[in-house]
């Protein structure tokens, strides 16, 4: 294994014949690593029709594999083990395609993964010519909104639905909103039907009318009954929050489940009439994964932030805190890197700072960092600080923790938007995070960590704890973004997009016949293992609607 350094100083390890990496190739590959800290590897891969093209893959493969060394996943001679660990962090693998003779004749150091071979033959990236004349008045729209994702606990994924619906209902171009997917709204969302334009459909009669648009605020998966989409709405529009589950294998029970999920997301993108994403970063990823996607039918619309208020109701959680504390807020998905946060905090203690650490968030069954966290907690002996691990916290407890923390540590390596730093700033607390993708795009901040290096995070966190000027600057930067990001603006842009799509021909299905709504429902049923995870009563209602 040899090594080179990028122009920005990243250490890159090379597996394979180093003679194949000429100076110009080192510069091209190094610049690729420097373009985004989420890129974990770049493989030199032969392709007869490309002279220099980058392609996202699920694993390294090629005649040379260049590996970024960082404190999340250390470089390892066992490339397969290293690649799996990097993927489970939500980091990316790129192939650099080239048609040069020396690359063509060089031996492969790593063959393509089964997933990459399978997707090479998948035609789901194509779509048919749109048809159908517009019959919708964009100034008097009727909407159906799927609320299946509103589970028992409110997290960032649910905020889009709970904050957007009232703002949409207040727009004069909206005539009515019908909610589907649940028999009863959870307590935190019960207020949605208080608006005169909004109703929850729970009987067959309430499903009879076809609305102009059906909108899925959260990307469609096995929880959602997509089979009735065309009957419920003349135009089908979905929002992609992120491609985290698309990228990370441990979100799924088997390789086949992962393949089904990935294929489903591409087919959905090609079969719906319109797509919104919550950041340009997510839109870019969707373009990359679905090359035949009609770009005129997708639009990035950043979320509102004015649901966060400094006077938010607060309630102290049931935890004994006698010292200042740093807060890590989020479920224990591996890509949230809570174990990394513990290591950063322990290093802060070694610098002589007395401060506790609070980890707040649900434990998840798949892709959890719990074991790694427990190992670090078990070995913790520094008396300058203690660790407090909380499960799910209510909205009021969440607000109290954000308002009373000395700083928020948010080292996530896979996001579609990222609410937490903004919530912290409004409640008076500075936050540190890695400036990648949507966190850079939305916040505009460039002086936070640019990678996941423990030393960098330690320096940043200590500065936020000890330098009031820096802490205030960080809060002000994030507050400015909040001030400019309202749910009213979001709803106006969303409805304008609805109108644009309503005047466009319907997209019926992609080139693959299974990509239509009925085919997608079949894929969803297979993913769930028995049937889609909608409520029993909702499925019974839907069957009644089909048979009427």
Q: How confident is the model over 210-234, as a mean pLDDT?
A: 86
Measured CA to CA, the distance from residue 460 to residue 446 in angstroms comes to 13
When comparing pLDDT for 222 and 495, which is higher? 495
Question: How many whole angstroms separate alpha carbon 145 and alpha carbon 181?
Answer: 9
Domain range for 475 is 325-483
Is there a domain that residue 130 lies in? no
Residues 456 and 536 in one domain: no
Query: Which are the contacts of 139, defined by CB distance < 8 A and separation ≥ 6?
Result: 173, 499
Instruction: Tell me, yes or no, whether 448 and 516 share the same domain.
Output: no
Are residues 283 and 389 located together in one domain of the fold?
Answer: no
Cβ(431)–Cβ(443) below 8 Å: no
- With 50 as the cut, is the pLDDT of residue 304 above it? yes
Last residue of a domain, one of 431, 463, 483: 483
Could you tell me if 246 and 368 lie in one domain? no
486-504: average pLDDT: 94
Residue 14 pLDDT class (50, 70, 90 cuts):
very high
145 and 284 co-located in one domain:
yes
CATH number at residue 498: 3.40.50.2000
Is residue 309 a part of any domain in this protein?
no
Instruction: Measure the CA–CA gap between 506 and 157, rounded to whole angstroms.
Output: 28
Read off the pLDDT of residues 85-114 as tens digits, 9 standing for 90 and up.
999 999 999 999 899 999 999 999 999 999
Residue 124: per-residue pLDDT: 41
- CA dihedral (299, 309, 152, 540) in degrees, to 10, reads -50
477 with 494, same domain?
no
Residue 216 lies in a domain: yes
pLDDT in tens, 432-463: 999 999 999 999 999 999 999 999 999 999 99
In a domain, 311, yes or no: no
Residue 214 lies in a domain: yes
How confident is the model at residue 508, as a pLDDT? 58
Q: Give me the number of domains the chain comprises.
A: 3
In a domain, 126, yes or no: no
- Asked if residue 284 has pLDDT above 90, the reply is yes
Q: Is residue 182 pLDDT above 70, yes or no?
A: yes
Query: What's the pLDDT score for residue 133?
Result: 54
* 284 and 385, same domain (yes or no): no
Rounded to whole angstroms, the Cα distance separating 173 from 292 reads 32
478 assigned to some structural domain: yes
Three-class SS state of 375: helix
Domain finish residue from 483, 504, 531: 483
Residue range 206-225: average pLDDT? Answer: 87
Q: What is the mean pLDDT of residues 152-177?
A: 89
Say what the pLDDT of residue 134 is: 55
Q: What is the pLDDT of residues 464-481, one digit of tens each?
A: 999 999 999 999 999 999
Does residue 201 form part of some domain? Answer: yes
């Amino acid at each position: 294994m040899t090594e080179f350094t990028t122009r920005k100083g990243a250490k890159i390890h090379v597996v394979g014949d180093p003679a194949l990496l000429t100076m110009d190739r080192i510069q091209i590959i190094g610049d690729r690593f420097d373009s985004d800290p989420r890129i974990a590897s770049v493989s030199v891969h032969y392709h007869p029709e490309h002279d220099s093209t980058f392609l996202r893959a699920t694993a390294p493969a090629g005649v040379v594999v260049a590996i970024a060394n960082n404190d999340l996943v250390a470089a390892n001679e066992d490339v397969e083990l290293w690649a799996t660990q990097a993927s489970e962090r939500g980091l990316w693998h790129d192939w650099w395609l080239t048609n040069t003779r020396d690359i063509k004749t060089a031996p492969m150091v790593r063959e393509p993964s089964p997933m990459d071979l399978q997707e090479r033959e998948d035609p789901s990236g194509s779509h048919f010519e749109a048809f159908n004349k517009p019959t919708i008045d964009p100034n008097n729209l009727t909407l159906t909104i799927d609320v299946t994702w509103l589970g028992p606990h409110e997290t960032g994924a649910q905020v889009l639905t709970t904050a957007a619906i009232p703002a949409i209902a207040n727009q004069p171009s909206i005539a009515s909103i019908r909610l589907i997917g649940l028999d009863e709204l959870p307590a935190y969302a019960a207020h949605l039907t208080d608006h005169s334009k909004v109703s929850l459909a729970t009987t067959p009669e309430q499903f009879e009318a076809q609305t102009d648009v059906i909108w899925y605020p959260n990307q469609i998966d096995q929880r959602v009954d997509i089979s009735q989409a065309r009957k419920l709405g003349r135009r089908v529009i979905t929002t992609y929050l992120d491609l985290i589950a698309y990228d990370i294998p441990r979100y799924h029970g088997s390789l086949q489940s992962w393949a089904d999920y990935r294929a489903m997301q591409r087919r959905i993108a090609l079969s719906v009439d319109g797509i919104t994403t919550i950041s340009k970063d997510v839109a870019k990823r969707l373009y990359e994964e679905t090359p035949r996607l009609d770009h005129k039918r997708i639009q990035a619309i950043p979320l509102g932030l004015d649901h966060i208020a400094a006077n938010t109701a607060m309630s102290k959680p049931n935890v004994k805190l006698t010292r200042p504390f740093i807060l890590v807020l989020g479920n224990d998905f591996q890509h949230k890197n809570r174990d990394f946060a513990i290591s950063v905090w322990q290093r802060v203690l070694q610098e002589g700072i007395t401060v506790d650490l609070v980890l707040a968030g649900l434990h998840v069954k798949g892709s959890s960092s719990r074991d790694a966290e427990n190992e670090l907690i078990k070995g913790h002996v520094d008396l300058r600080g203690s660790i407090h691990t909380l499960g799910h916290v209510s909205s009021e407890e969440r607000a109290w923790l954000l308002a009373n923390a000395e700083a928020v540590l948010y080292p996530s390596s896979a996001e579609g938007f990222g609410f937490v730093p903004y919530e912290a700033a409004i409640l008076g607390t500075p936050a540190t995070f890695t400036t990648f993708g949507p966190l850079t795009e939305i916040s505009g901040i460039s002086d936070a960590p640019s990678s996941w290096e423990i030393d960098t995070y330690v320096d940043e966190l200590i500065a936020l704890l000890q330098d009031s000027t820096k802490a205030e600057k960080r809060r002000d930067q994030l507050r400015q973004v909040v001030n400019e990001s309202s749910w009213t603006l979001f709803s106006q842009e969303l409805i304008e997009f609805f109108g644009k799509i309503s005047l466009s021909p319907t997209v019926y299905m992609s080139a693959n016949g299974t990509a239509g709504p009925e085919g997608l429902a079949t894929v969803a049923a297979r993913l769930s293992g028995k049937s889609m995870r909608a409520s029993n009563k909702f499925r019974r209602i839907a069957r009644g609607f089909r048979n009427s």
